[in-house]
A and B are shown apart, each in its own frame.
Chain A
Amino acid sequence: MKYESQRVAWWFFATCMLLFGLQLVYGLIMGYAHAGHDPLHPIIPFHVARAVHTNLLVVWLLTGFMGAAYFIIPEEADRELYWPKLAYVQLIALVVVGVVAIIGFHLQWWEGRKFLEIPRPLDFLVVVDVLLFIANIGMTIWKGKRMTTTSMVLFFGLLMAALLYLPGMIPTDNQTLDSYWRWWVVHLWVEGVWELIMGAILSFLLIKLTGVDREVIEKWLYVIVGFTFLSGILGTGHHYYWIGTPRYWLLIGGVFSALEPLAFLGMAIYAIAMARKGGRAHPNRVALQWTIGCAVMSFVGAGFLGFAHTLPQVNLYTHGTLVTAMHGHMAFWGAYAMLVLAMISYALPLLTGRKRHDTPSASFAFWTSNIGMIAMTLAFAVAGITQVVLERRVGMDFVTVQKEIEVHFWGLLLAAGLFILGISAYIYNFIRHGKPVAEVQGGGDSGASPPAAEAA
């Protein structure tokens, strides 16, 4: 940690751990319900668990991105945060909105629009909160000593993410238009601007962990985010096949979303190539593991499994089945969950001054959670493909098919047990690192610039 104000990142990361842990609980409730056991139905019916599970994911990832930005931007801009106290206020506000939303979901106060269930009054608070965050980051970069590509890509990724939240609030009576704008938010986030954030955080981590020259890493960053937008923007079309929109989206969505794996493949090759090229043995090997793992698993989950059902000929049968859940779980895990966990793994020893990255539990967390997630994805795949064949091809009744595939959800729950074990180890390691240190500890491990003498 080079600057005192970076310390706020720890509180964001701690919030991430809490929300992530809670997300797993709601996932289990849904897994058991799918396996035929819903004892919690009178208190937490499936649609409540589902809204909480997905929204917790979105909130903890956003919290992680914010924490990452508060850690990265001072180092990149070479100065303290412009408004250090505002960062704390902004975190507390985010947590309050999140808690109110989650309690609201249990009382069935929501909007009922997949991923954007947060009720309208809270939407406005989220926007205000994110704008405060953007302002803080923006002023820090503006007043900073240098403006790096990494910090600019991160900033624009976050700014665009905030602006793209707005189309989701356009009022309409038509279900098709409702969906149309909803995907502007959801798709352009996860297959668009969030990838800017991902690219920037990966760049930062690779610069720090491999010691490869910044110019080289940032050049390839441009190429990769270039491919992301080239494929991702028009790739939104794969959500517009079957919702009452013109037929030309079948062609446009099909062609451009077929290109989307290239961006992820590029990201994976880039991370591996930089790690090899660097050859610098950074002591925090677990952080590098998570970084490379993120790039590889995002290709498998988002790129490869996304491609598996993105072509209209296939998607006609898989759209709206558990095949989507298969792709969704590994895509979010690989691209964004692992990214935040990589960032936390890197930042934690620097924030707390305790170098616990070599402990067996850190490595155990990485491997167990990844093997668990791969097994979960396989269970979803078997359940999803069986559902597609029996329901969509053979024409069997929905309820009958769901009974047939209940057994695969026991497999899913076993895999989820492994995953939860891994994440528990990660959280245990986080707790063992303890609270952040009070004093600034020299130049972190960048070694590029002298410690901040002007730190307030």
Chain B
Amino acid sequence: MSSERPPALLAALAIVGVAFFILPLAGLLARAPWQSALGELTTPEALTALRLSFVISLAATALALLLGVPLAWIYARVPFRGRDLIRALTTLPMILPPVVGGVALLFAFGRRGLFGQALDAIGIRLPFTTFGAILAATFVAMPLLVLTVEAGLRSMDRRYEDAARTLGAGRWIVFRRVTLPLIAPSVFAGAVLCWARALGEFGATITFAGNLPGTTQTLPLAVYIALETRPEVAIMLSVVLLAVSLAILVAMRDRYLRAF
């Protein structure tokens, strides 16, 4: 690749752009209490939030895989009336303010919600439970997985599936033994993006599942609460989230670009 000298104006604006992202990170790192870092991170509240965040984000990713891969397959392979509309509806949480998603979940599955009363009658309560937090995270994060997997399905060479069928494989075996292995990179990329989004989830979770330590208080919620009372804990939790996110982005950069 040949390097090109950029026009001065472009270079200057690009530098401002980089600074805009770097400076807040620098502020965070500069204020981090590095001497007492381990102490701040190993407080019971912090450890609980950390553990809960991983449980909820991984469970949300598993749920998104279970429901999202079939959905992506339908979108990529089955043309039906209204497909574009349905796809838009299931993608909406990506651009919707998460708080709005949380409110919508509350009025659907809350105790006084459209379906919540029926669920309540059979003894299922979702709001303000860990499972509710998992649903909130899945709601906002699954569209990333669906879009990534759908792109993978659309770009794969479908003639491999034809070859499998002439060898005697029915549709399910074709999916399990040919399609799925061939789109594995896309599924993996989608799952990582989904997990990262679920890990950072805040708005829908606090609205639908509340902020109960040990039950629904995930890392981002703990950061928000700690900022008022113990800023050094908030900073260290933020640094942890930052490190995890950066690691994901660096590891994913090729796949991320390829999927979109």
A-B interaction: no
Taking Cβ atoms with an 8 Å cutoff, the residues of B that contact A are: none
